[in-house]
Chains A and B, each alone.
Chain A
Amino acid sequence: MERQSLDQTPRYYLRINLYHRLLHGLLMASFLGLAATGMPLRFSQSTWAVELATAIGGFGAILFFHKTFAFLLTLCFFLHIGAVFYLAFVRGEIGVFWGSASMVPQPRDFIEMFQHFRWFFGIGPRPQFGRFAYWEKFDYWAVFWGMAIIGITGYVMWFSSFFGRFLPGGLFNIALLIHADEALLAVWFIFTIHFFNSHFRPEKFPMDLVIFTGKLSDRELQEERPAEYQSLVEEGSLERIQADPPPLWLRNLGRIIGFSVVATGFLLFGLTLLAFLSE
């Protein structure tokens, strides 16, 4: 394998474009907002829940913010679906549905997961990950499934009178149960597994800024995404995605947003875990 530019000033490549970064920002903001206004209801018998709900402004305010963030997250969902369909059917990049640049699980993902476990135990090499690794795809589909499930059940409850015209009322019971449990799963998953996988493992600690800057260094690309790097080199398209180093202000902005979100997330995780264990 070529090992260029390791001892030169690092080159940077674009990994996440502005649209996806903004969409992730919207996702992050609305997810946090939904968690902060929803978890007090899920754990309504805890003292912190009462205090948080009162601090937010009471019943009316909680519901208002929860519904506002729900609308924003729905918007986010459809903006993403729209972008995928635009890419696939207008720009003709059918590769979003299958292949190395697709989020759809590929057979190699299962192999890489198996290899990854072997590497964990020190009995094999680190897998040659491509553009999206299996755990990133899991994150993606977990959020996708989560948005769909939590969203549908949420709207059923929001417009219960309307849905009551053709759905039996017993479904509202099930809707709340699924809405709350799936939300708890999502909140815990994002605030622990996603945070670890993306930011806290030793290679990335304390934070991977790529989601804010959109760029990763030549070294990161080679180490973390060897398969993608190789195919980019083979296609000769490496130069096409080469970018300026991320400016300091952007990195600092990313750090400020990132650490705030992580701190909020940890706080919510701790509070909900304590409440869950004392149920």
Chain B
Amino acid sequence: MDRKDPSNLARPIFIRPFLLSAVFIVAVFLSPVFAQAQGSSKEICLSCHGIQGLEKVRKGKPVSLYVEREKLSQSVHGPLECASCHRDASQLPHPSELKAVQCSACHAGASQAYSQSVHGKAHAKGDGDVAFCSDCHGSHNILPAKHPDSKVYPLNLPRTCGTCHGDPELAKRHRIPVANAYQLYMDSIHGRALTRSGLLVAANCSSCHGSHEIKPKADPESKVYRTRIPSTCGACHAGVVAEYFDGVHGRAVKEGSSVAPVCVDCHTTHEIRRVETPAWKLEIIKECGTCHRESLRTYRDTFHGQVTALGFTRVARCSDCHGSHRILPASDARSSISRANLVSTCQKCHPKANPNFARFSPHADPNDKERNPGLYYAARFMHILLIGVFLFFGLHTSLWLFRSTLEVWRRRKPPEQAEGGPDPDGEEGKDGTPKP
């Protein structure tokens, strides 16, 4: 091993300059031949670029000029000539620096969309990190999006996006708000459906963000702009979104509310979890409470709210009574908390509930005298009782402690000292307390 290593290292150093100059010389001499032999130009290109290790130095960095013959022939662009993309290489010898390939020449639509996207705009500003056509699609090895080996095949796309959107350093440099979108996604229900179950229908990056036209979420045209989120999710979750738009939240969003919750407020974005997990079930209560603050406060005063606050889910949570996607006001006859449906809603957990039972208020506020007079006066009474008992006995106990300590302290003193001075306890003997 040790003896072999130096030779391995030495070989490229030794051979590369020789090889490069050889290729160059051959190319120059044969250039008139190439110019005439147009039909098999790809073979001619590959006679140089098909040599493994062919590279040049650009800005001090080695750049590979090698084109894998097999990959190229398998690629969707396989039938094309090299010069279809590398237009300035149609004549030999070609310039030492070729221009960047213009995909837009053929892919005008995609290119147009890209130029308006968050990536395209940054690219136009000269951002060197930003994703360009080849970063997602590859170059000589481009495969159709439906090919399982394509970098943009649904099962591969997250990894492709993740090369940048899983890199916290890059996110910091470019102020991307979600630094670890890839990691979050891979742990999410969508990510698992994709990686573990291999579901093509599972949402991948482009399902929500789009592909060429990706826009920042603050852009009203973005697929993830707040009010557009329900329809974006609804592309797959059609039934749920239909329910949602029927409910109070969906209707408010339709009417232009910017505060009404959309899908991601409850389900989060990249890290969407199964809704059966206890952690999610408990978290969602707090989420409702971010807007419905009073309802959460009064809920916490009830047994239901106390048990969920302790971290257990076997009692009624917001959605058990109010529903989830189609939440309707009590005034709507179809609502789970309407007068007509309330008893059957209670019966989901309390099978023997009757109309009387259903008069329990899951959000009773003991400070609301108008709505809950009984509770109000009960709370006042208990307060007075608590304060009264502890005021009286607090005083009683403090005085007693003081007096008894004094007594014990006096008893420990020699008798002549204890009896000296004005002593109201001179009659101690009479009350049965033995003198020291």
Binding site for B on A (CB under 8 A): 1, 3, 6, 40-42, 44-45, 49-50, 53-54, 58-60, 62, 116-117, 119-128, 135, 142, 157, 160-162, 164-174, 176-178, 181-182, 184-185, 188-189, 192-193, 196-197, 201-203, 219, 222-223, 226, 229
Say whether, besides A177-B379, A185-B386, A169 and B405 are in contact (CB < 8 Å): no
Q: Could you tell me if A168 and B356 are in contact, using CB atoms closer than 8 angstroms?
A: yes
Residues 386-436 of B contacting A (Cβ, < 8 Å): 386, 389-390, 393, 396-397, 399-405, 407-408, 424-425, 427-434
Q: Could you tell me if B310 and A40 are in contact, using CB atoms closer than 8 angstroms?
A: yes
Residue from A42, A164, A184, A203 within 8 A of B354 (CB atoms): A164
User: Which B-chain residue is minimally distant from A224 (CB atoms)?
Assistant: B432
- Nearest Cβ distance between residue A179 and chain B, in whole angstroms? 10
Q: Could you tell me if B309 and A44 are in contact, using CB atoms closer than 8 angstroms?
A: yes
Q: Which residues of B contact A171 (CB under 8 A)?
A: 374
User: Which A-chain residue is minimally distant from B385 (CB atoms)?
Assistant: A185
Q: Which residues of B contact A123 (CB under 8 A)?
A: 424
Say whether, besides A45-B309, A117-B399, A122-B403, A169 and B357 are in contact (CB < 8 Å): yes
A-B Cβ contacts below 8 A, count = 166
Q: Could you tell me if B432 and A119 are in contact, using CB atoms closer than 8 angstroms?
A: no
Q: Which residues of A contact B314 (CB under 8 A)?
A: 59-60
User: Does B173 have its Cβ within 8 Å of any Cβ on chain A?
Assistant: no
Closest CB pairs A-B (n = 4): A164-B357, A169-B359, A169-B360, A226-B432
Q: Could you tell me if A125 and B366 are in contact, using CB atoms closer than 8 angstroms?
A: no
Q: Which residues of B contact A168 (CB under 8 A)?
A: 356, 359
Q: Could you tell me if A42 and B374 are in contact, using CB atoms closer than 8 angstroms?
A: no
Q: A59-B314, A126-B431 are in contact. List 13 more A-B contacts (CB 8 A).
A: A1-B429, A41-B307, A44-B309, A120-B400, A121-B399, A123-B424, A173-B361, A173-B364, A184-B386, A185-B382, A192-B397, A201-B404, A223-B432
Residue from B307, B407, B425 within 8 A of A202 (CB atoms): B407
Q: Which residues of B contact A181 (CB under 8 A)?
A: 379, 382-383, 385-386
Q: Which residues of B contact A196 (CB under 8 A)?
A: 397, 400-401
- Nearest Cβ distance between residue A133 and chain B, in whole angstroms? 11
Q: Which residues of A contact B312 (CB under 8 A)?
A: 53, 58-59
Say whether, besides A3-B434, A165-B356, A120 and B402 are in contact (CB < 8 Å): yes
Chain B interface bracket (under 10, 10 to 19, 20 to 34, 35 or more): 35 or more
Residues 197-247 of B contacting A (Cβ, < 8 Å): none
Contact segment of B26-34, B97-105, B181-189, B298-306: B298-306
User: Does B352 have its Cβ within 8 Å of any Cβ on chain A?
Assistant: yes
User: Which B-chain residue is minimally distant from A178 (CB atoms)?
Assistant: B378
CA distance A42 to B356 in the complex (A): 26
Q: Could you tell me if A49 and B397 are in contact, using CB atoms closer than 8 angstroms?
A: no
User: Which B-chain residue is minimally distant from A201 (CB atoms)?
Assistant: B404
CA distance A203 to B314 in the complex (A): 50
In the assembled complex, 20 residue pairs joining A and B whose CB atoms fall closer than 8 Å, in A order, are A41-B310, A49-B310, A50-B309, A53-B311, A122-B425, A125-B430, A161-B351, A164-B352, A165-B357, A169-B361, A173-B302, A173-B361, A173-B375, A177-B378, A178-B382, A185-B382, A185-B389, A189-B390, A219-B434, A226-B431
Residue from A50, A122, A173 within 8 A of B310 (CB atoms): A50
User: Does B350 have its Cβ within 8 Å of any Cβ on chain A?
Assistant: yes
Q: Which residues of A contact B359 (CB under 8 A)?
A: 168-170
Q: Which residues of B contact A197 (CB under 8 A)?
A: 397, 400
Q: Could you tell me if B382 and A172 are in contact, using CB atoms closer than 8 angstroms?
A: no
Residue from A120, A157, A170, A182 within 8 A of B374 (CB atoms): A170
CA distance A40 to B402 in the complex (A): 34
- Nearest Cβ distance between residue B289 and chain A, in whole angstroms? 12
- Nearest Cβ distance between residue B347 and chain A, in whole angstroms? 10
CA distance A169 to B374 in the complex (A): 12
Q: Could you tell me if B350 and A59 are in contact, using CB atoms closer than 8 angstroms?
A: no
User: Which B-chain residue is minimally distant from A60 (CB atoms)?
Assistant: B314
CA distance A161 to B372 in the complex (A): 21
- Nearest Cβ distance between residue A241 and chain B, in whole angstroms? 18
Say whether, besides A173-B364, A174-B378, A223-B434, A202 and B310 are in contact (CB < 8 Å): no
- Nearest Cβ distance between residue A161 and chain B, in whole angstroms? 4
Residue from A40, A126, A174, A185 within 8 A of B375 (CB atoms): A174
- Nearest Cβ distance between residue B344 and chain A, in whole angstroms? 14
Residues 336-382 of B contacting A (Cβ, < 8 Å): 350-354, 356-361, 364, 366, 372, 374-375, 378-379, 382
CA distance A73 to B428 in the complex (A): 42
Q: Which residues of A contact B300 (CB under 8 A)?
A: 44-45
CA distance A1 to B431 in the complex (A): 9
- Nearest Cβ distance between residue A38 and chain B, in whole angstroms? 10
Q: Could you tell me if A135 and B396 are in contact, using CB atoms closer than 8 angstroms?
A: yes
- Nearest Cβ distance between residue A220 and chain B, in whole angstroms? 11
User: Which A-chain residue is minimally distant from B432 (CB atoms)?
Assistant: A226
Residue from B356, B382, B402 within 8 A of A166 (CB atoms): B356
Q: Could you tell me if B400 and A201 are in contact, using CB atoms closer than 8 angstroms?
A: yes
Q: Which residues of A contact B309 (CB under 8 A)?
A: 44-45, 49-50
CA distance A157 to B303 in the complex (A): 10
Residues 71-91 of B contacting A (Cβ, < 8 Å): none
Q: Could you tell me if A41 and B378 are in contact, using CB atoms closer than 8 angstroms?
A: no
Residue from A44, A119, A164, A193 within 8 A of B307 (CB atoms): A44
- Nearest Cβ distance between residue A248 and chain B, in whole angstroms? 26
- Nearest Cβ distance between residue B420 and chain A, in whole angstroms? 16
Q: Could you tell me if A165 and B396 are in contact, using CB atoms closer than 8 angstroms?
A: no
User: Which A-chain residue is minimally distant from B435 (CB atoms)?
Assistant: A3
Q: Which residues of B contact A174 (CB under 8 A)?
A: 374-375, 378
Q: Which residues of A contact B385 (CB under 8 A)?
A: 181, 185
